Chains A and B, each alone.
Chain A
Amino acid sequence: MTLPLIIYRSLRQHALSTLVTAGSIALAAGLLMVVWMVKEQSQKAFLDTSTGFDAVLGARGSKLQIVLNSIFHLEASPGNVAAADFEQIRKHPAVKTAIPLALGDNYFGYRIVGTAEELFTTVEYSPGKRYVLEAGGRLFGAGQREAVIGSFAAARLKLKVGDTFQPYHGLAFDPKAQHEEVYTITAVLAPTNTPADKVIWIPITGIQTMKGHDPRMATDVSAVLIQLRSPTAGFMLDMMYNKQGNRLTFAYPVAAIIADLFGKIGWFDRVLALVAYLVALVAAGSVLASIYASMSARQRDLAILRALGARRRTVFGAVVAEAAVIGALGAVLGFAVYFGLLAGVASVIRTQTGVAIDIVAGHAILWIAPLAMIGLCALGGVVPALKAYRVPVAETLAPTS
């Protein structure tokens, strides 16, 4: 009863510095958790986003570029895969499924990707999950000027079943490069939380035969998404295309290539984490400074408590506990900072990549960071607590008479 009362009254008496300090702790704890969770969750989300394929066959180039282009619909295609090459891999005995992709157009910056119907009818983009069309929709007809639109793109472009649009040439939006062809939306894809949500899907022949595209490449594809019959087949095809051949690149395994990407940008996480650690240290320092600064003012109160019978270790503990309570207050507020920041970051990642980050996912950092902040603050409270410990009662309370 006594300790909570002492802490409560002290915090009330120094309400402004308590709030400012708790705010800086909230920022530190929130930042620490966000940095950690964005790293963890984005890595997990990207690694999980193989959209059901083991490998990608593309033109000669970087494996990462091919994967980003065909799985995440980012970057540009390094070139085309000839129809004969597509047929060869499609018929390869080690290949279970081969889905062609053709890129080159957009609609207000949202990519238009030509593909085969099997992508929606046979492929599981995640174990046990197939693409689902929202009610009232039907798949585009092969060779028709029809489109199935991803849920995110549909919402952003405000397009629905029955609406029409004219594609723009290129992957980047250029208002002067509009094609003549008019496409009709036949379905909206149910959300998948994968990059497919921000794509407008049309039959592959649509891209291949779009006016303005090179007619000599009318049968080429941009990349081929591949499901293998066995993992060993991947190494065999890797040997065939990457070591022995020199025209095509076989990007396999997809997950390892994405993991490699995260390895390359790992320094960014480390810089952010370092910033968060520094903010945490500054916050703990501000706890120390704010309590220490108030020690002269509260010296008399501490001496009175001592005169009432409080032991040195009681006043020492009260000051340390007060610092820990400020830390706890900051940690609680830190969750507001965390959810606010994470929601913002998740929204940016979703907009840019189509990958959805789980903002309510649990992780050890969500209790480690707040506890660490509380501990750090308690540690910051030790210095002023030592001052409280040494308060000379008789001198502070009264002059000798």
Chain B
Amino acid sequence: MLTVSRLVKRFSSPEAGGAAVEIVRVEELSLAAGAHVALRGESGSGKTTFLHLIAGILAADEGRIVIDGEDVAALGESQRDRARAARIGYIFQTFNLLQGYTVLENVVLGMSFGPGGVDRARARSLLERVGLGHRLHHFPRQLSTGQQQRVAVARALANRPKLVLADEPTGNLDRAHGREALTLIREACREAGAALLLVSHDPEVLAQFEQVRDFSEINRPRARNSP
């Protein structure tokens, strides 16, 4: 379902006098359809950049990212946007809900850029699934942090994605809510048949996954001046 090979991303670094510094160099990573894989990694290890590359938010400098048979790394920005809307659900650590929109509108917007278009009934049922059927017309600021995370989960699944990317999804939640959120994410992905690639540095989160990979072993950026 997802195959990453020889992926490289560099950024120009002010600390290096503006020279390009490698942040990501992943030789190989594969994810089967419906699989749930967790990546362990510390802050600053390039995990978020890696997820942004897979999602097509960032363009890769080298390598291939094949999702569902299509190499998104070879696509132009506009096509990557389309591919993201069609195949990927993204759960951010900070949720990134649109504060001026209601809960229902947040989920509706999540599906509106995809190929299936807007399906309000599905948006409602997703919100009911995550236990927010009674909060459809509330604004994010009127919800608890845990409830906001559940909206983010519903929004990520709105487009029937093949792959859900979760970036420290429990990072802003307390332990109990974090556990609850993780269970919800995994169940919802399982029900939707979506593969899940989650990054976290929290041992308790990682302990719930059968497949855990150490990101520092996968990501081997070359230091400057190395061949």
Residue pair A304, B98 in contact (C-beta under 8 Å)? yes
Q: Within the assembled complex, what's the spacing in Å between the Cα atoms of A307 and B114?
A: 12
Residue pair B44, A400 in contact (C-beta under 8 Å)? yes
- Chain A residues with CB below 8 A from B49, complex form: 394, 400
CB proximity of B98 to chain A, nearest CB, Å: 5
- Chain B residues with CB below 8 A from A301, complex form: 98-100
Does B145 interact with chain A (Cβ within 8 Å)?
no
Given contacts A5-B109, A393-B57, A400-B46, contact A309 B96 (CB under 8 A): no
Partner of A394, one of B57, B101, B118: B57
Partner of A401, one of B45, B82, B98, B100: B45
Q: Within the assembled complex, what's the spacing in Å between the Cα atoms of A306 and B58?
A: 12
Q: Within the assembled complex, what's the spacing in Å between the Cα atoms of A397 and B77?
A: 17
Does A275 interact with chain B (Cβ within 8 Å)?
no
Residue pair B48, A401 in contact (C-beta under 8 Å)? yes
> How many of chain A's residues have a CB under 8 angstroms from any CB in B?
28
- Chain A residues with CB below 8 A from B48, complex form: 398-401
- Considering only CB atoms, which chain B residue lies closest to A14 in the complex? B100
Residue pair A2, B43 in contact (C-beta under 8 Å)? no
Q: Mark B90-115, 1 if CB is under 8 A from A, else 0.
A: 10111011111100010011101110
Residue pair B94, A398 in contact (C-beta under 8 Å)? yes
- Chain A residues with CB below 8 A from B168, complex form: 401
Residue pair A306, B81 in contact (C-beta under 8 Å)? yes
Residue pair B101, A9 in contact (C-beta under 8 Å)? yes
Q: Mark B156-196, 1 if CB is under 8 A from A, else 0.
A: 00010000000110000000000000000000000000000
- Chain B residues with CB below 8 A from A314, complex form: 113
Residue pair A311, B78 in contact (C-beta under 8 Å)? yes
Residue pair B43, A401 in contact (C-beta under 8 Å)? yes
Does B37 interact with chain A (Cβ within 8 Å)?
no
- Considering only CB atoms, which chain B residue lies closest to A398 in the complex? B48
Q: Mark A292-317, 1 if CB is under 8 A from B, else 0.
A: 00000000110011111111111000
Q: Within the assembled complex, what's the spacing in Å between the Cα atoms of A309 and B96?
A: 14
- Chain A residues with CB below 8 A from B23, complex form: 400
Residue pair A398, B167 in contact (C-beta under 8 Å)? yes
Residues 1-37 of A contacting B (Cβ, < 8 Å) = 1-2, 5-6, 9-10, 12-13
Partner of A312, one of B78, B90, B97: B78
Q: Within the assembled complex, what's the spacing in Å between the Cα atoms of A301 and B44?
A: 25
Does B52 interact with chain A (Cβ within 8 Å)?
yes
Residue pair A394, B113 in contact (C-beta under 8 Å)? no
Q: Within the assembled complex, what's the spacing in Å between the Cα atoms of A200 and B90?
A: 84
Residue pair A304, B96 in contact (C-beta under 8 Å)? yes
- Chain A residues with CB below 8 A from B57, complex form: 306-307, 393-394, 397
Residue pair A309, B98 in contact (C-beta under 8 Å)? no
CB proximity of B16 to chain A, nearest CB, Å: 15
Given contacts A1-B118, A309-B113, A400-B46, contact A12 B100 (CB under 8 A): yes
- Considering only CB atoms, which chain B residue lies closest to A5 in the complex? B105
Given contacts A307-B96, A311-B78, contact A401 B44 (CB under 8 A): yes
- Considering only CB atoms, which chain B residue lies closest to A314 in the complex? B113
Most-contacted residue by chain B among A9, A397, A399, A400 (CB, 10 A):
A400
Q: Within the assembled complex, what's the spacing in Å between the Cα atoms of A311 and B98?
A: 17
Residue pair A309, B93 in contact (C-beta under 8 Å)? no
Residues 97-139 of B contacting A (Cβ, < 8 Å) = 97-101, 105, 108-110, 112-114, 118
Does B55 interact with chain A (Cβ within 8 Å)?
yes
- Considering only CB atoms, which chain A residue lies closest to B87 in the complex? A309
- Chain A residues with CB below 8 A from B77, complex form: 312
Q: Within the assembled complex, what's the spacing in Å between the Cα atoms of A1 and B113?
A: 11
Partner of A308, one of B99, B109, B167, B199: B109
Residue pair B112, A1 in contact (C-beta under 8 Å)? yes
Partner of A311, one of B82, B86, B105, B112: B82
List chain A positions with a Cβ less than 8 A from chain B.
Answer: 1-2, 5-6, 9-10, 12-13, 300-301, 304-314, 393-394, 397-401
Known: A1-B112, A394-B57, A401-B168. 6 other contacts (CB 8 A): A1-B108, A13-B100, A307-B90, A312-B77, A398-B167, A401-B46
12 A/B residue pairs, CB under 8 Å, sorted by A: A1-B112, A1-B118, A2-B112, A5-B105, A300-B96, A305-B109, A306-B81, A308-B109, A308-B110, A309-B82, A393-B57, A397-B92
Please list the 10 inter-chain residue pairs (A to B) with the smallest Cβ-Cβ separation, ordered nearest first. Answer: A309-B85, A309-B113, A2-B112, A13-B100, A311-B81, A401-B48, A401-B43, A9-B100, A394-B52, A304-B96
List chain B positions with a Cβ less than 8 A from chain A.
Answer: 23, 41, 43-49, 52, 55, 57-58, 77-78, 81-82, 84-86, 90, 92-94, 96-101, 105, 108-110, 112-114, 118, 155, 159, 167-168, 199
